């Protein structure tokens, strides 16, 4: 890097002090203080894959470099020293103008897309890779509600009433309707029939009702508002549906994208049955009861669609997450009406899903995974159905 180049600090950065504990065996043997505590700093940046450990001097050096304005390299080197500048550049925490490395490109993308820095950090560093949540739960020896209570005590009260309320006004309960009947049967499915396929007509109906375009309106040249069956921040609808297809009528097992404009599924990669099931299990972090669904539906967000209007906004990422919840509830209700099971889970390996579908998490991030398909006739895995609207006492499908 030439000395006439300009540099700047990365855009989305968090610095956190942490205590590092080490054992001093000499002190232990002589009766002294055996545990030594040293403070280190972890630098997390949205354009990097892992946190970076820094000494206090590195944190001080980083804090002297401007984030928003390009500064001549020689000027920065004079302020913090050439050695520290070179090290921070090598770590990817300081970027060079016109740089073409992966950190350079990704930091520029974070800026161009108008990510709010704290949202970007939360999104990037809450992703999992190669986690088996079921194995982790088994290793923890907490496998039931009784185990949770034994370890942590009882949960907070299931009802909450304000002690400072001044007046209570009873409300009328609604008369039973077809919507009540449908919602009563809406229960998360953990018992999918691995021998049955999902009809193509059912898949089309589910996708159209949960993610499909019902109408559109061009507000200005090139700016089209979509009408879908759920609310969306600014009416921008950034959500995309990607499918891990295992058993669907007339569809080869593999990876698909739901093309909402054409109401069609576009094949991205065909996979043999064993490979697609392995990916399904990895996607839901080892939750085998979910991996058996004929279709796993990955909810992803094209962040730039929302950030175009809500630029560097502290609330829009939250609005996108809320939208994913709205869409998944519609999927549940549409599946329930067709007498199919459904689930949604956030215990997922986002990184593995991104790699499978060739998604960049800064541009198009994975938020959750849903599944749909026929239930088994006999319940073999626990499901929460307090109303008894799905299963009878003999664990048979009603």
pLDDT tens, 216-232? 999 999 999 999 999 99
Backbone dihedral region for residue 31 (phi beyond 0: left; psi -120 to 50: alpha; all else: beta): left
Q: What is the mean pLDDT of residues 192-215?
A: 97
| Gap between the Cα atoms of 349 and 278, Å rounded | 13
Q: Is 19 helix (H, G, I), strand (E, B) or coil?
A: strand
pLDDT of residue 76: 96
The Cα–Cα gap between 71 and 212 comes to 48
pLDDT digits 0-9 by tens, 30-60: 767 777 777 889 999 999 999 999 999 999 9
Q: Domain boundaries in the chain?
A: 6-112, 134-140+181-373
CATH topology of domain 134-140+181-373: NADH Oxidase (3.40.109)
Q: At CA 234, angle to CA 231 and CA 236, rounded to 5?
A: 80
* pLDDT of res. 398: 78
Question: Are the beta carbons of 271 and 278 closer than 8 angstroms?
Answer: no
Residue 28, pLDDT > 70, answer: no
- Calculate mean pLDDT across residues 140-164: 91
328-372 residue pLDDT tens: 999 999 999 999 999 999 999 999 999 999 999 999 999 999 999
Q: Residue 105 above 80 pLDDT? A: yes
User: 7 is written with which tokens?
Assistant: 């540099």
Q: pLDDT > 90: what percent of the chain? A: 87
pTM of the shown model = 0.92
3-class SS of residue 71: strand
Average pLDDT over residues 141-155: 90
Q: Quick one: which of 332, 201, 207 has its CA closest to 258? A: 207
What is the secondary structure of 142-178 as a DSSP string? --SHHHHHHHH-SPSPSS---TT-------PPPPP-H
| Tokens 């999902």 -> residue | 198
Can you tell me which residue has the tokens 């997450």? 321
Q: Of 275, 256, 251, 279, nearest to 267 (Cα)?
A: 256
pLDDT for position 397: 86
Residue 20 is predicted with a pLDDT of 80
Pick the closest to residue 248 from 196, 297, 198, 298 (CA basis).
198
pLDDT tens, 283-340? 999 999 999 999 999 999 999 999 999 999 999 999 999 999 999 999 999 999 999 9
Q: Which of 92, 120, 96 is nearest to 6 (CA)?
A: 96
């Amino acid at each position: 890097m030439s000395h006439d180049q300009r540099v700047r600090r990365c855009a989305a950065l968090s610095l956190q002090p942490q205590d590092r504990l080490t054992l001093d065996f000499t002190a232990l043997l002589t009766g002294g203080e055996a545990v030594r505590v040293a403070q280190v700093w972890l630098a997390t940046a949205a354009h990097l894959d892992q946190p970076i450990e820094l000494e206090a001097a590195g944190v001080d050096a980083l804090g002297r470099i401007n984030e928003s304005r390009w500064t001549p390299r020689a000027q920065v080197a004079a302020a913090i020293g050439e050695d520290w500048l070179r090290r921070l550049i090598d770590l990817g925490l300081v970027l060079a103008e016109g740089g073409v490395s992966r950190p350079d490109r990704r930091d520029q993308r974070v800026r161009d897309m108008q990510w709010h820095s704290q949202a970007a950090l939360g999104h990037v560093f809450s992703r999992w890779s190669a986690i088996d949540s079921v194995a982790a739960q088994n290793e923890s020896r907490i496998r039931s509600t009784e185990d949770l209570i034994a370890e942590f005590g009882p949960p907070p009260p299931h009802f909450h009433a304000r002690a400072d309320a001044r007046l209570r006004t009873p409300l009328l309960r609604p008369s039973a309707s077809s919507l009540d009947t449908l919602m009563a049967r809406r229960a998360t499915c953990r018992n999918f029939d691995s021998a049955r396929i999902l009809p193509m007509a059912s898949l089309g109906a589910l996708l159209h009702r949960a993610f499909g375009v019902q109408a559109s309106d061009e507000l200005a040249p090139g700016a089209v508002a979509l009408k879908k069956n759920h609310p969306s921040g600014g009416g921008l609808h950034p959500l995309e549906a990607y499918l891990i297809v295992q058993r669907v009528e007339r569809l080869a097992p593999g990876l698909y994208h739901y093309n909402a404009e054409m109401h069609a599924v576009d094949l991205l990669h065909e996979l043999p049955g064993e490979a697609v099931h392995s990916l399904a299990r990895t996607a839901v972090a080892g939750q085998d009861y979910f991996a058996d669904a004929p279709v796993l539906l990955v909810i992803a967000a094209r962040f730039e669609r929302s950030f175009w209007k809500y630029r560097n906004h502290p609330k829009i990422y939250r609005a996108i997450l809320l939208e994913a919840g709205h869409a998944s509830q519609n999927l549940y209700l549409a599946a329930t009406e067709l007498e199919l099971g459904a689930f949604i889970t956030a215990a997922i390996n986002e990184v593995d899903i991104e790699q499978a579908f060739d998604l960049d998490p800064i541009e198009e991030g994975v938020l959750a995974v849903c599944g749909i398909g026929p239930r088994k006739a006999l319940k073999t895995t626990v499901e929460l159905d307090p109303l008894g609207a799905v299963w009878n006492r003999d664990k048979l499908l009603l």
